[in-house]
Chains A and B, each alone.
Chain A
């Protein structure tokens, strides 16, 4: 089974500062990679995904992520944090072969300090 590691269960940044949320996966074959955001008392919403092609992926709300095969990583970044970015962020993967099972990381709670 896949495993997904998100370093840092809580991250705090100042408004306007860089956001960096880390995600590493375990498989030797690169899976499909996803970042989801969850606002309080809501379901998950897709931010972005990597399937194939360009390794720098742009998503909604100014977020982007870069797939690095050599580092088995898919870190999420945003150049300038906004108060509305405060939420829980989840990295997820699914195998390219079966594709029916998704594996989520444990999540990173982002706090934006005014």
Chain B
């Protein structure tokens, strides 16, 4: 049971480049989410999904796209990277869509730098 895995661990992009951050979980969790962590700002929700084929926006969705074709995977796409997207990105998952108090499990993070 690997939990929540994220790849890559580190990435450097040039402004305007695109890339996909990968997230996978093997716990059969319905709910998955992406956060970005910036100094002095805590974690902010980018997008979340309550099941395959269902996604919704969080607090800071601009510049990011997501899709959920399987229960296990929830990739985050940056279509045209900007320096303001330099951050540490965390993926998380939890059981159930209506059990809001269930524990969220976090991945180890992806540190992204946009030059």
Q: Which residues of A contact B (CB under 8 A)?
A: 1, 4, 9, 32, 41-46, 49, 51, 90, 92, 94-96, 98-107
Interface residues contributed by chain B, number (CB under 8 Å): 28
> What's the Cα separation between A44 and B18 when bound, in Å?
27
Q: A59 CB to closest chain B CB, in angstroms?
A: 11
Question: Are A101's CB and B58's CB within 8 A?
Answer: yes
What is the 8 Å Cβ interface bit string for chain B, positions 87-115, against chain A (1 contact, 0 not)? 00010100001111101101111000000
Question: Are B41's CB and A102's CB within 8 A?
Answer: no
CB nearest to A1 among chain B residues? B59
Q: In the assembled complex, which residues on chain B have CB atoms less than 8 Å from the CB atom of A46? A: 103-104
Q: B24 CB to closest chain A CB, in angstroms?
A: 14
Q: A99 CB to closest chain B CB, in angstroms?
A: 3
B79 interface residue (CB < 8 Å to A):
no
Q: In the assembled complex, which residues on chain B have CB atoms less than 8 Å from the CB atom of A45? A: 106
B17-54 CB contacts (< 8 Å) to partner A: 31, 33, 35, 40-45, 48, 50
Identify 23 residue pairs between A and B in the complex whose beta-carbon atoms are under 8 Å apart, listed by A's number. Answer: A1-B59, A32-B100, A42-B108, A43-B4, A43-B90, A43-B107, A43-B109, A44-B90, A44-B92, A45-B106, A51-B101, A99-B99, A99-B101, A101-B45, A101-B48, A101-B58, A102-B43, A102-B104, A103-B45, A103-B59, A104-B35, A104-B43, A106-B41
